[in-house]
Amino acid sequence: MPDGTDTTKIALPTGLSVSLSGDVTKAIAALGATFFGTVTPKNSAACCALSFGIEHAAPSDLFATLGPSPVPAPLLVSAKQAVQPNLKQVAGRFGILSTGDWTLIASFENGDHTTVADATVVRILDRWHLRSTPNGPVLDIPTTSTIDNSEADFGSVPDLSNTSVDLIQSPCPALIGTTPTTFGGTPADTVGAWCEHGLLVRIEGPRPYLRKLLANLKVKPRSNG
């Protein structure tokens, strides 16, 4: 993702390209990346909204029963087979797609893991296509749906705790403007945020780290490609 000019390019799941510069390599060099979003039908009466996460990992790194190969057609995998503790906490099964280097994990947004829900997840994922690009994973979906709250989170995997840089493609909250601002917290855990052309930038970490990034980090969204 770094291009040798102190600029890092990130592709969000929607395909939106984001350029980060200003000491960004040091900021995220040791942080793992996870991508999130929700696929929602444009017709509010249609079924169904699915939440997804995309990990920079082979299927075998996430689930004990899967191998390292790509998973182009959707599979259902029990949460009991998950390797990461945060995935084991779910009671039910996940829908899986993978390019081999990126693995998508999907489920109903409302947490429904019934047999009917599982079958619906597979049916919906069968119309999705996950692509691996040099700057991140991109998810292609039918034109009848949209990807909402598409985001890239750089933080401590698997729980993204302590220090994180989040890029969220969504309408900007009313209390957050275009100027980097700190929102409370403690010296050990402070949050700062600002909005940049439809992209919410959120940073969390120790206060000195936060102040440095708020002063130096430059974020430039580009059109989808």
- For residue range 187-196, list pLDDT tens digits in order: 777 888 999 8
- H helices of 13-75, in order, are 24-28, 59-62
Mean pLDDT of 124-144: 95
- H helices of 90-224, in order, are 115-125, 207-216
> Does residue 30 surpass a pLDDT of 60?
no
Q: CB neighbours of 14 closer than 8 A, spacing ≥ 6?
A: 37, 138, 139, 147, 150, 169, 224
pLDDT at 160: 47
Q: CB neighbours of 67 closer than 8 A, spacing ≥ 6?
A: 59, 60
- Please give the order of strands across the beta sheet that includes 103-108: 71-78, 93-98, 103-108, 50-55, 32-41, 145-156, 161-169, 199-205, 189-196, 181-186
pTM over 0.75: yes
Point out the least confidently predicted range of 49-63, 82-96, 141-155: 82-96
Give the model's confidence band at 131: pLDDT under 50 very low, under 70 low, under 90 confident, else very high.
Answer: very high
Find the distance separating the first CA and the last CA of the chain, reported in whole Å: 16
